[in-house]
Amino acid sequence: MNMRIRPRRLRYGETLRKMVRETRVDPSSLIYPMFVKEGTGIVEEIPTMPGQYRYSIDTMERKLEELLDAGVSSVMFFGIPDHKDEVGSGAYAEDGIVQRAVRLARREFPEMYLITDVCMCEYTSHGHCGVLCGHDVDNDATLKLLAKSALSHVQAGADMVAPSDMMDGRVAAIRDILDENGYKNTPIMSYAVKYASAFYGPFRDAAGSAPAFGDRKSYQMDYHNSREGIKEALLDVQEGADIIMVKPAMSYLDMVAKIKEAVQVPVASYSVSGEYAMIKAGAKLGYIDEEKIICETAASAFRAGCDIYLTYFAKEIAQYMQEGKIG
């Protein structure tokens, strides 16, 4: 048969397949989400996320060393305080759990890039992402506290802040307060395209951040919508966001691709707790090959347009990259 064009020609042999690979990834693109809590000597496995742990500040050092050894140099801290109140004061306290974790990590691991999640849900007694007016989250009143939280994180030594609350105007509020205090070069990675998703279930168990009543659909996005996500991303870029995040990853890669086309800043995606739990559960039952699924889901995110990938499998993916199984 006379066929001049044969796509299979470029699939013969591992060397050639790697040579013509369209999507290339590197451990520097990975961020590991890390839970830190009050106390000492704590390495507490999260029941709904087997293999993931809550750490106290004194034990998190071993995990940071593991990550660095694997080639992962970026982490995002999520705090779990002992005390919660109506206004989430632990989020912006000078001696808050995240602030102390950042100070220690900055001192002991100067080579690590430290990012902090900026939100109120882990710190409020009601579990919502802002202060309440009745049973509604007061958007504008919340902005001041989010900005105050972000500033406290940067003052403690954070390299980047990542607001995840989905309040309107929070990127501008954070940009203004950082600039006013001399942190003009501190970037903001905005959870701009964050959907109200059932994939967050295990995280809420891990962080103790489930809302005490209602849900978060008045501020997180309806998962039926895509144009709304583009609008959110463009607004946040106008307000000063340096990186735009899409969350979750697995079921929202169409949004990663659309946002990549719409904005001129790097795009991140967060492979969330539910995605992690599904892979671990499927692998435990013998239904899937865990290693291959981890590689495939990560590659799919980068293929869709991710520049940055937040994942609980960061250490494993970095190892697979070094072994040539992905990237």
Residues whose CB falls within 8 Å of the CB of residue 15, separated by 6 or more in sequence, listed in order: none
d(CA 184, CA 178): 6
d(CA 179, CA 182): 5
d(CA 118, CA 10): 46
CB 115 within 8 A of CB 74: yes
* Whether residue 47 has a cis bond before it, omega within 30° of 0: no
8-state DSSP, 187:
-
Neighbours of 264 (CB within 10 A): 6
Q: Among 84, 194, 260, 280, which one carries the catalytic annotation? A: 194
H helix or E strand, kind and range, residue 161: strand 160-163
84 included as an active-site residue: no
d(CA 172, CA 176): 6
Tokens of 195: 């959907």
Which amino acid appears at position 12 of this protein? Y
Tokens of 321: 């990259």
CB 243 within 8 A of CB 265: yes
- Percent helix / strand / coil, the chain, rounded to 5: 45, 20, 40
Q: Among 37, 84, 247, 280, which one carries the catalytic annotation? A: 247
d(CA 226, CA 229): 5
d(CA 90, CA 88): 5
325 included as an active-site residue: no
Tokens of 43: 């390495």
Residues forming the active site: 194, 247
